[in-house]
Chain A
Amino acid sequence: MTKVHLSGVRKSFGSFTAIEHLELTIESGEFVVLLGPSGCGKTTMLRMIAGLEEPSAGSILLDGADVSNTPVQERNVGMVFQRAALFPHMTVEKNILFGLSVRGRPRGEMREKLEEMLEIVQLHDFRHRFPAQLSGGQMQRVAIARTLITEPSVLMMDEPLAGLDTKLRATMRRFIRDVQKRLRLTTIFVTHDQAEAMELADRIAVIFDGRLAQYAPPDLLYKRPSCMAVADFMGVSNIFPGTLVAKNRVESAFGQLRVDEQPRCPLGATVSLMLRAEAIDLHEHKEDTRFQAIEGRIVERDFLGASVVYTLECGATRIAVSEPSRRLLDVGRTVWLDIAPESVWLLSH
């Protein structure tokens, strides 16, 4: 359990700046996900914490101690690489034992810990296999066991599930989350998949172009994105222009909408109005609406199994609404949209 702090970290490759002045604290025992599109600098950040890459400026602190000049071997961090990077010429056992073996640990201790690790990752039956004889999920489990056996102060994982199929990813996510909770390991997990990030993280750090765009727990990030880019990346479907005409009233294409007080936006400001598709209720009768009723016509219906997404036309604008698929409304019919003031999120420009 170690607290990680990146203080003013910058990283340049030649004239290209991959990371720009990064301030980031990961509390001890916390599960933080670095989320961002490919090429935004996630891997570079992990490599700097591991000591595989040297920051061009700033420092990296583990439990308050500056490790910027500590060689990679002595940092005692763990890193799971994207393509597992198992040693192809060693069996599962020897892969897992590598970290202890290079430390010259006694044989008895190694045996004991090996069994413990095989138990955690459930690979008893595969102990004598070589990496080429394992599936993608098994390889990642070996990589995780190989890392955990050295009892790292921080566990870092670089898109460990990127190559796996959907079902296996779900299983592996649960597995990683369980292991992390059980060992209470400070964990930094990298992904470009926002659903994965939300499922795993205590806090998500959204990175764009080497800059920290927002650092917040998943629900907050989802409901209260700090900028358009984050909103877009988190998959907010409805974003409309508007003007704040009163403390809690915004003028938009749907007429005036009541919103919660928005201390961050000045009166009269041009804003972007964000409406999450599942925060809007659809009613067949206007009398059933509780907050503000907007008339709309269903022009499209996408059935997704558990939920159904409608595209509605309200005057000249289109809006997406999703609701549980318990009931299905027909395309072409007119319905009433009900928008709760607290579900509207404004971003000023």
Chain B
Amino acid sequence: MSSPIPPPNSAPRLFQPAQAAGRRPALGLALTLTPIAFVLVLLFGGAMLLAVLQSLGFAPWFGVNTFPSLTYFKALWASQFFWISVGLTLYYATASTMIALVLAIPLALALTKAFPGRGLYDYIYKLPLMIPYLVGIALAVLMLGNGGILSRLAAYVGLIDDPGQFPAILKTHYGWGIITVYVWKQTPFMTLAIYAVLLGVDRNTEEAAAVLGASPRAIFFRVTLPQILPGIVSSSLICFAFNMGAFEAPLILGGGFPDTLPVIAWRYFNDADYTLQLQGMAAVVSMGIISGVLLFAYLAAYRRYEMMIGRV
């Protein structure tokens, strides 16, 4: 369109003077945060270090110590099923995050408007937030299973002759059941996160765009969406990370072998042969690496965008 984007540091940075003047308070803040940082590092960093060590063969308390060796990773990565598992894990996590997002954005926008039944709607959409995942999974089994309510209903209405003919939604590698549960549970969360950001958006910007001749589509993509992006990024980040690591839904509703990564890890941990825990750790660490790299790239891209629009 117009001129190239200015380099981010060409514009004077508004917060610089305050920062320079606030050196002492910054030190105080650092001191205040130290105990918290200490707990975080110890609890998470310590455990993470241990997980990495184990995955590299360090577990003297099991009588195993081949540290450092990549045996466990090699065993895992050499198998083609491992990569199918990675694909499945990514697919379930991505698809459910995207679908939830596509549902959550219009819901959040609707929440800022007044309409009949608004009060009731306010309660209903939050309901899944208060119900545990496992209950959601149970509901999915009851509703979507081959002997479930939907199949019986379809048979009753005459869409199919017998509930058994109902298309398989659960226990397939398409993961409709898993995705349904994630979407059902996470759409309200994303709606809430985006709605919170939307409350801080000057809605006159959308009206200004309309008066300037922008179509509803242009208003959404060029004015609204960029302004609610922080809510979209933070909530999709959280949901994606959770979906990557969650194992109940894929275990109960998934298609069985090859399983998702968390289920693989869980099976190793659960094995009678406790030395397999090291193999499980390798799966966990692999999962951490994949999810970490993806999320880091996502955040880096978002940060670049933020710099482009002058927010950072």
Query: Is A191 interfacial (CB 8 A cutoff)?
Result: no
The closest CB in chain A to the CB of B204 belongs to A85
Secondary structure call for the B interface: loop
Interface positions, chain B 192-231, Cβ under 8 Å from A, are: 202, 204-205, 207-215, 218, 222-223, 226-227
Distance (Å) between the CB of B208 and the closest chain A CB? 4
Q: Which of A126-134, A288-296, A324-332 contacts B (4 or more CB under 8 A)?
A: A126-134
Q: Would A89 and B309 be within 8 Å (CB), given that A94-B1, A94-B2, A128-B10 are in contact?
A: yes
Q: Do A85 and B207 touch across chains, with their CB atoms under 8 A apart?
A: yes
Q: Would A128 and B6 be within 8 Å (CB), given that A90-B309, A91-B310 are in contact?
A: yes
Interface positions, chain A 78-99, Cβ under 8 Å from B, are: 78-79, 81, 83, 85-91, 93-94, 97-99
Distance (Å) between the CB of A141 and the closest chain B CB? 15
Q: Do A98 and B2 touch across chains, with their CB atoms under 8 A apart?
A: no
On chain A, the residues within 8 Å of B3 by CB distance are 93, 128
The closest CB in chain A to the CB of B7 belongs to A128
Give A73 to B3 CA distance when docked, in angstroms.
Answer: 26
On chain B, the residues within 8 Å of A91 by CB distance are 6, 310
Q: Do B207 and A89 touch across chains, with their CB atoms under 8 A apart?
A: no
Give A130 to B218 CA distance when docked, in angstroms.
Answer: 20
Chain B, residues 1-33, CB within 8 Å of chain A (1/0): the string is 111001000111010000000000000000000
The closest CB in chain A to the CB of B219 belongs to A102
Q: Do A102 and B215 touch across chains, with their CB atoms under 8 A apart?
A: yes
Q: Do B309 and A130 touch across chains, with their CB atoms under 8 A apart?
A: yes
The closest CB in chain A to the CB of B225 belongs to A89
Distance (Å) between the CB of B199 and the closest chain A CB? 15
Q: Do A132 and B227 touch across chains, with their CB atoms under 8 A apart?
A: no
Distance (Å) between the CB of A286 and the closest chain B CB? 61
Interface positions, chain A 283-335, Cβ under 8 Å from B, are: none
Q: Do A150 and B213 touch across chains, with their CB atoms under 8 A apart?
A: yes
Q: Do A133 and B2 touch across chains, with their CB atoms under 8 A apart?
A: no
Distance (Å) between the CB of A122 and the closest chain B CB? 19
Chain B, residues 118-136, CB within 8 Å of chain A (1/0): the string is 0000000000000000000
On chain A, the residues within 8 Å of B14 by CB distance are 132-133
Interface positions, chain A 96-153, Cβ under 8 Å from B, are: 97-99, 101-103, 107, 110-111, 114, 128-130, 132-133, 143, 146-147, 150
Q: Which of B2, B211, B226 contacts A50 (CB 8 A)?
A: B211
Q: Do A98 and B214 touch across chains, with their CB atoms under 8 A apart?
A: yes
Query: Is B113 interfacial (CB 8 A cutoff)?
Result: no
Query: Is B74 interfacial (CB 8 A cutoff)?
Result: no
Q: Would A102 and B2 be within 8 Å (CB), given that A52-B207, A79-B208, A133-B11 are in contact?
A: no
Distance (Å) between the CB of B233 and the closest chain A CB? 14
On chain B, the residues within 8 Å of A146 by CB distance are 208, 212
Q: Do A102 and B211 touch across chains, with their CB atoms under 8 A apart?
A: no
Distance (Å) between the CB of A128 and the closest chain B CB? 4
Q: Would A99 and B212 be within 8 Å (CB), given that A81-B207, A89-B226, A130-B310 are in contact?
A: yes
Query: Is A1 interfacial (CB 8 A cutoff)?
Result: no
The closest CB in chain A to the CB of B217 belongs to A102
The closest CB in chain A to the CB of B202 belongs to A85
On chain B, the residues within 8 Å of A85 by CB distance are 202, 204-205, 207-208
Q: Which of A72, A97, A133, A147 contacts B12 (CB 8 A)?
A: A133
- Among B207, B208, B214, max chain A CB count under 10 A is at B208
The closest CB in chain B to the CB of A110 belongs to B2
On chain B, the residues within 8 Å of A90 by CB distance are 309
Chain A, residues 41-83, CB within 8 Å of chain B (1/0): the string is 0000000001110000000000000000000111111110101
Give A207 to B202 CA distance when docked, in angstroms.
Answer: 27
Chain B, residues 164-199, CB within 8 Å of chain A (1/0): the string is 000000000000000000000000000000000000
On chain A, the residues within 8 Å of B202 by CB distance are 83, 85, 88
Q: Do B1 and A101 touch across chains, with their CB atoms under 8 A apart?
A: yes
Q: Do A128 and B2 touch across chains, with their CB atoms under 8 A apart?
A: no
Distance (Å) between the CB of A107 and the closest chain B CB? 8
Give A74 to B216 CA distance when docked, in angstroms.
Answer: 12
On chain B, the residues within 8 Å of A110 by CB distance are 1-2
On chain B, the residues within 8 Å of A76 by CB distance are 213
Q: Would A52 and B310 be within 8 Å (CB), given that A91-B6, A102-B215, A129-B11 are in contact?
A: no
Chain A contacts to B: CB under 8 angstroms? 50-52, 72-79, 81, 83, 85-91, 93-94, 97-99, 101-103, 107, 110-111, 114, 128-130, 132-133, 143, 146-147, 150
The 5 listed contacts between A and B (C-beta, < 8 Å) are: A83-B202, A88-B205, A91-B6, A98-B214, A130-B310
With A77-B211, A114-B2 known, 17 other A-B pairs at CB within 8 A are: A52-B207, A79-B207, A81-B208, A85-B202, A85-B204, A85-B205, A87-B209, A88-B202, A88-B205, A94-B1, A102-B218, A107-B1, A133-B310, A146-B208, A147-B211, A150-B212, A150-B213
